[in-house]
Amino acid sequence: MAQSIDIQGGGLFQIAEPEAPSKRRRKPGKAIGIDLGTTHSLVAIAPNGAAPRVLADAEGQTLLHSVVSYAGGEVVVGRAARAVAVEHPEQVLSSVKRFMGRGPKDIDFTHPYRLADDAQVVRLDVADPGQPPRYVSPVEVSARILEVLRDRAEHELDDDVSGAVITVPAYFDEAQRQATKDAGRIAGLEVFRLLAEPTAAALAYGLDRQGRGEHGEGSFAVYDLGGGTFDISILRLRAGVFQVLATSGDSALGGDDFDRALAGHLRELAKLSAPSPAQQQELMLAARAAKEALSDAEVTSVTLERCELGPTQVTRAQLDALILPLVKRTIKVSKAALSDAGVDKRELDGVVLVGGSTRVPLVRKLVEQAFGREPLADIDPDKVVAYGAAIQADILSGSEREGVTLLDVVPLSLGLETMGGIVEKIIPRNATIPISARQVFTNYSEKQTGMTVHVVQGERELADDCRSLARFELRGIPRLPPSMARVEITFELDADALLTVTARELMTGVKQSIEVKPTYGLSGDEVDELVMDSLDHAREDFAARNLAEARVEMGRVMLALRTAIDEVGSIEGMLDPEEHAQILAALVECEAVMQQSEHADPINKAREQLEKRSEPFARRRMERALRAGMAGKSLAEIESALAEEQALDERRGAHAAEVIEPQ
């Protein structure tokens, strides 16, 4: 498998931009960085090499609540929308980042919203009570938040924004990244790049200046716990290159889960078995306020009017007990990321805290214990990601700024389905991006004139155990004997980890490609399961793969033998009746073994016996073909033909995987 990484340019990242240069001319110093968060969102600028700063609204507020209200048919964003959430629980949307790039079956957490039950993608009904449904998608809701941030920046810059860098959790999958990019486009922004949140934090801290040695070398962990997502990235700086060694996380774990745990406790105190949507909103808002208060105080008081709960004290110890299992989950994932990176915690030069949820004292305590050092929290964890995005946006707008080269990684393996339902991994998990990887596949039958390319994502050996991302067909393949056609499949992951797959038949040059835009993506639990299942089920997965490969190889031999009998079996001297009957009986026996056996060994033994029984016939057929081919030719021509035949034999055996045939 050929792989390549394209590194261009002289900017901070020096990574090839995700798309062809825009026709619109970029204005240096007019680009913005956006942290599109689950709870809050921010916009920052760092024009023409200046230090980054977060922009405020007219009232001096830098944090924009990631809340959008559709109550009364009007769209309101931010603090004003949050203020009416209890009165209009189904028309005021918050934490919509958790819905991005997902299907209805992926939504397994509590929420007060009405989802369309007949849609492949999540759609939320925001119509007022008694009115016909009015559906909006999470992408549209996020676009409304981005529009407010864009307007804030244009007012500050006194000019149109030339483009934006938008941050995403490092563990966002293909669908979630694409949904974020689509939201930016809907908001009227040219999205220069999607930037992983831990990467942005590393840039904001200027970790290259904190490294060891003359060239500023060192290893760092970035622990990013926001409102709805958790990421852990292990980075290493060496010779001016900042490389992500491993990334892991949970795209459905964050401060919102802390709020839900505390809200559940308050619900029990209020003796509510089935709270209404309005009561649920009140519980969540009160829990969030209490959590934030307990970051500084040991005790706080909560009053719930709609839930009929009078002033009640909540202590930090109670909160810690409720959220301890959740925080421990992040620590477990962090240790796994260190193992994936091959880095011992004692080798780290620093641990960076990112995200508002890292203000929770229990989080800081357990992180310090897990990594054996006090974490870095010099920069406001709510703003650090926006700072890094602004720095990168300034570079991509054309400004000059010194920095480091940074190489990111893909969180899950990408591959395609081959004959027998086997997954051929083209780009492995934690491969450095951007990356272009290609592999050549061949035909299964001479009657095959097309191939279906099925792109999958995951760590298991069989396609049924992985997530389907896209399918497309390549037609116009010439009719060639089995294993003679050559189809080159190329996977290209850009700097945003967005995937393009191309299939090209090498003889005719016919080509087909697709930009993989799945309608919804992986749930947080599924992401974890895809990685863990590959370890837990390794033995049975490989057994299943061996069985599938044995069946494919048996089918190939049987098809080739039947074709040969049809072509030359009736020629005198080629195949006598007794031998013919024995081969046909062997074929029937092999067919039965292939269908009945659940293990590879019996199938392989039956295939070997079939090949041994048919060997005399195959030899006579080959000798006849050679005699016909050598008639009237010189010795040199014969030697050349034999060399070509040997090369073809080697070529036939070079690629065992066959792309599945169109249905």
pLDDT digits (tens, 9 = 90+) for 290-316: 999 999 999 999 999 888 888 999 999
Please say if the pLDDT value at position 526 is more than 50: no
Taking residues 112-133, report their average pLDDT. Answer: 83
Whether the predicted pLDDT of 452 surpasses 50 = yes
Token pair 């959790």 is at which residue?
A: 169
Q: Do residues 235 and 340 lie in contact, with contact meaning Cβ atoms separated by under 8 Å?
A: no
Given the residues 224, 259, 492, 528, select the one marked as catalytic: 224
What pLDDT shows up at residue 502?
84
Mean pLDDT of all residues in 119-147 = 87
Residue 567 has pLDDT above 60, yes or no: yes
Q: Specify the pLDDT at position 197.
A: 85
Q: What is the percent of the chain where pLDDT is above 70?
A: 78
When mean pLDDT is compared over 39-53, 405-419, 535-549, the highest value belongs to: 39-53
How far apart are the C-alpha atoms of 535 and 46, rounded to whole Å?
A: 44
Q: Which of 17, 30, 90, 97 is catalytic?
A: 97
The chain-wide mean pLDDT, for the chain, equals 78
Q: Write down the pLDDT at residue 10.
A: 27
Average pLDDT, stretch 56-78?
A: 90
The 10 Å Cβ neighbour count of residue 587 is 18
Q: How far apart are the first and last CA of the chain?
A: 27
Q: Is the pLDDT of residue 23 over 50?
A: no
pLDDT bin (cut points 50, 70, 90) of residue 543 is: confident
Q: Which two tokens stand for residue 293?
A: 């208060």
The pLDDT of residue 507: 75
Q: Which pLDDT tens digit goes with each residue over 632-644?
A: 666 666 566 556 5
Measure Cα distances from 652 to 90, 369, 485, 647 in Å: 61, 57, 10, 9
Q: What is the pLDDT confidence band of residue 260, given thresholds at 50, 70 and 90?
A: very high
**How confident is the model at residue 335, as a pLDDT?**
92
| H or E stretch at 398 | none
Q: Looking at residues 423-428, what average pLDDT do you find?
A: 82
Residue 231's pLDDT is what? 86
pLDDT at 143 over 50: yes
Q: By mean pLDDT, which of 164-168, 227-231, 622-626 is the weakest?
A: 622-626
Residues 6+ apart with CB under 8 A from 247: 170, 171, 196, 198, 231, 232, 233, 234, 337, 408, 409, 411, 430
For position 42, what pLDDT does the model report? 95
Strand residue runs (E) in 448-584: 450-457, 467-475, 487-493, 499-505, 511-515
Amino acid 186: pLDDT: 87
Most confident of 164-178, 203-217, 345-359: 345-359
User: Residue 418 — pLDDT band, cuts 50, 70, 90?
Assistant: confident
| Structure tokens, 163 | 């483009």
Would you place residue 654 in the very low, low, confident or very high pLDDT band (cuts 50, 70, 90)?
Answer: very low
Query: Residue 521: is its pLDDT beyond 50?
Result: no
The larger pLDDT score, comparing residue 14 to residue 649, is at: 649
The confidence score (pLDDT) of residue 623 equals 73
Q: Where are the beta strands (DSSP E) in 324-371?
A: 350-354
* Least trusted range by pLDDT, from 9-18, 177-186, 326-335: 9-18
Three-state SS across 41-104? Answer: EEEEECHHHCCCEECCCCCCCCCEECEEECHHHCCEECHHHHHCCCCCCCCEEECHHHHCCCCH
Pair of tokens at residue 459? 């760590």
Q: Is the pLDDT of residue 419 over 80?
A: no
**Cα–Cα distances in Å, from 414 out to 92, 127, 458, 519?**
37, 40, 7, 17
Does the pLDDT value for residue 531 go beyond 70?
A: no
> Running DSSP on this structure, what letter comes out for residue 405?
E
What is residue 626's three-state secondary structure?
helix
Strands 191-196 and 163-168: parallel
The more confidently predicted of residues 8 and 39 is 39
Pick from 81-85, 340-344, 422-426: least confident: 422-426
Q: Is the peptide bond before 434 cis (omega within 30 degrees of 0)?
A: yes
- Residue partners of 650: CB distance under 8 A and separation at least 6: none
Q: Give residue 641's pLDDT.
A: 58
Query: Phi, psi at residue 309, to the nearest 5°?
Result: -120, 115
* List 197, 208, 461, 496, catalytic entry: 197
Pick the most confident of 102-116, 203-217, 274-288, 429-443.
274-288
Residue 653 pLDDT exceeds 60? no
In order of their start, the domains of the chain are 2-254+321-409 (3.30.420.40), 255-320 (3.90.640.10), 414-536 (2.60.34.10), 539-631 (1.20.1270.10)
CA distance 6 to 13: 12
Upper half-sphere CA count for residue 514 (Cβ side, 13 Å): 15
Q: What is the residue-wise DSSP string for 588-615?
A: HHHHHHHHH-SSHHHHHHHHHHHHHHHH
Mean per-residue pLDDT, 210-232:
73
- Whether 582 shows a pLDDT value over 70: the answer reads yes
Among residues 307, 131, 84, the alpha carbon closest in space to that of 114 is found at: 131
Give catalytic status of residue 382 as yes or no: no
- How many residues in the chain? 663
* pLDDT bucket at 454, cuts 50 / 70 / 90: confident
**What is the distance between the alpha carbons of residues 546 and 461, in angstroms, rounded to a whole number?**
10
Q: What is the pLDDT of residue 649?
A: 47
- Catalytic one of 17, 35, 174, 505: 35
* pLDDT of 470 over the 50 cut: yes
Rounded (10°) CA dihedral 88, 227, 529, 325: -100
Residue 659 pLDDT class (50, 70, 90 cuts)? very low
Residue 97: active-site member? yes
Residue 165: beta bridge partners?
A: 33, 193
Give the pLDDT band of residue 515 (cuts 50, 70, 90): low
Rounded distance, CA 652 to CA 662, Å?
A: 22
Determine whether 345 is an active site residue: no
